[in-house]
Amino acid sequence: MLHAMVDTVYTAMEKVGGQKVEVVLSETGWPWGGGPAVATVEYAKIHNNNAVRLAANPNGTPKRPGKGLETYLFAMFNENLKNEGIEQHYGLYYPDMNEVYHVDFP
């Protein structure tokens, strides 16, 4: 799904003359709690592992093969000082440095 989303941006940029514009996947993430039913550890783990795998893959996407994708995750740590809600639950780690879930960084 993430490949398709990135390739959609590439296609849109090409249609307006932006063939040479670099796409950066910035502040990507998935909440693991504090919000709607889809804010689960399972979905957050899947999303962030897919983002890391895409970033580490030098093969690129189907639209731009051979072109890596610069990627930034939204939060390494949960933000326990924010008001209760979804924003507190994007981190890969709790403030005490324990993992919320594992991400396979290369």
Structural tokens at position 17? 């003359």
Cα–Cα distance between 10 and 22 in angstroms, integer?
9
Whole-angstrom Cα distance, residue 105 to residue 52? 7
Exactly one of 14, 22, 27, 42 is catalytic; name it: 27
Structure tokens at 69: 């994708």
Pick from 78, 69, 71, 76: nearest CA to 103: 76
Handedness of CA 24, 27, 33, 39 (dihedral sign): negative
Catalytic (active site) residue 84: no
Q: Which residues have a catalytic role annotated?
A: 27
